[in-house]
Amino acid sequence: MRSDRPPFRPSRFGETRVAGCGMSFNAVSRIQLRRPLVGIAIGFVTGTGLAACWPLPLGFLFFMALFFLLLSLLFLKTGVSTWCLLLCCACLAACHYTVSASGLSERLIQRRYAERPAGPVHVDGRIAATPEFYPYPSGGRGAWVFPLACEGEKTANGWEQLHGRIWVRVSEGSRADHYEYGERWCFSGRLKQRNNPFVREKWTLAVSPHDSRERLSSPRFSLISWGLHLRRAASATLTRGLENFPNHLSILKALLIGDRESIPHETYEKFTRTGTLHIFAISGLHVGMVGVLIVSVFKTAGIARKFWGIWLLPLLLFYVLASGMKPSAFRPLTMAALYFLAPLF
């Protein structure tokens, strides 16, 4: 029986050569394999180390990452593009390190607690994340919880510089109270230990209605504050036509844009007891579904696959900003950028 496949023939030096083909299997094995993740890992480690040694503003780091990304598109498929991509990864790693700054050291808090276990502690700093309001079962009032990026502490010798984050819990508050990301506040409260084993920060600053609090300055402009403004605008848009269904409207806002402030306490408790509260957190599932919908439009419009990333990423970035710029949404945005921009490089 005759076959059309060329026979294998042994050649010199132990190589296996295919008849009619000038390439041996040893030559194929010597083809250089590209491992781009090694360069990305080196850039990530470098950016993290530089941010730990020389802290820079978050906005500056983000715009530098965007600048290097655009520069890599300008010098496409050249050596300059590769270096620009590695610098972009380094800037993104520095952004990640800046956002996830560690809290106050356990030793420092324990020393402060030993000095004045029942006395007030005075700290000032900026609100480092979106304040969350947790209503009491009785309704009406509740507690505001948010992390505070500390800048100073009042001691017997005056104000001293302080670095780190501590969680602040303002009790007996109402939804009308105004706490916004980026605002600079001065709080006085008492240190209390948290009993939740699943949280990293074991201490919180409990602020009662009798403790003093003072807003020192308004929030500075940042991408996160702009994203929160977009979320408030999106929340107002979703409200139109659904004013008579407040319970359904609150769940819709939480599912689409991560706005959980208007969820009634009873409904919130039901999702907590059933272990399904995580569906309200904007994560890779939400970003992926939005991306699939946008890509289907690109396919219908006949846009080439290698250009999807150029059009898709600004739209996904707008959605992530409108959902509050949570880390759980920023991570899938970064992975989507690597995946959809890969065909360009």
For helices 79-99 and 36-53, what crossing angle results, to 10°?
50
Report yes or no: 146 and 168 within 8 Å, Cβ to Cβ: yes
Average pLDDT over residues 269-284: 84
d(CA 80, CA 154): 50
Mean of the per-residue pLDDT values for the chain? Answer: 79
The lowest-confidence range among 51-65, 99-113, 275-289, 305-319 is 99-113
DSSP per-residue codes, 207-243: E-TTS-EEEEEPPPP-HHHHHHHHHHHHHHHHHTT-T
Compute the distance between CA of residue 191 and CA of residue 28 in angstroms, rounded to an integer. Answer: 66
Whether the predicted pLDDT of 12 surpasses 60 = no
The token pair that represents 158 in the structure block = 């005056």
Q: Which residue has the higher pLDDT, 312 or 232?
A: 312
Task: Quote the percentage of the chain above a pLDDT of 70.
Answer: 81
What is the arithmetic mean of pLDDT over 291-296? Answer: 92
195 pLDDT more than 80: no
Q: Could you tell me what percent of the chain has a pLDDT over 90?
A: 8
- Provide mean pLDDT across the span 16-29: 50
**More reliable by pLDDT, 216 or 202:** 216
Q: Which amino acid is at 251?
A: I
First vs last C-alpha separation in the chain:
47
Angle of the 284-301 helix axis to the 327-341 helix axis, nearest 10:
30
pLDDT of residue 342: 84
Does residue 61 surpass a pLDDT of 80? Answer: yes
Nearest to 61 by CA among 50, 74, 72: 50
Mean pLDDT lowest for which of 1-5, 43-47, 120-124, 275-279? 1-5
Whether 293 shows a pLDDT value over 90: the answer reads: yes
Interval 330-344 mean pLDDT = 86
Residue 236, pLDDT above cutoff 70: yes
pLDDT at 15: 46
| pLDDT digits 0-9 by tens, 64-81 | 999 998 898 888 878 788
What global pTM score does this model have?
A: 0.56
Give residue 185's pLDDT band: very low, low, confident or very high (50, 70, 90).
very high
Contact, 133 vs 120, CB < 8 A? no
The answer to whether 289 and 306 are in contact (CB under 8 A) is no
User: Would you give the distance in Å from CA 311 to the centre of its chain?
Assistant: 21
Pairing of strands 142-155, 213-217: unpaired
For residues 124 and 103, give the distance between their C-alpha atoms in angstroms, rounded to a whole number.
14
Over 90: is that where the pLDDT of 37 sits?
A: no
The sign of the torsion formed by the CA atoms of 205, 211, 217, 223 equals positive
> Quick one: pLDDT at residue 212?
86
Secondary structure (3-state) at 193: strand
What average pLDDT score do residues 24-50 get? 72
According to DSSP, the residues that pair with 150 across neighbouring strands are 125, 164
289: left (phi over 0), alpha (psi -120 to 50) or beta: alpha
pLDDT in tens, 112-170: 666 666 668 888 888 887 788 888 877 678 889 888 888 888 877 777 777 778 889 99
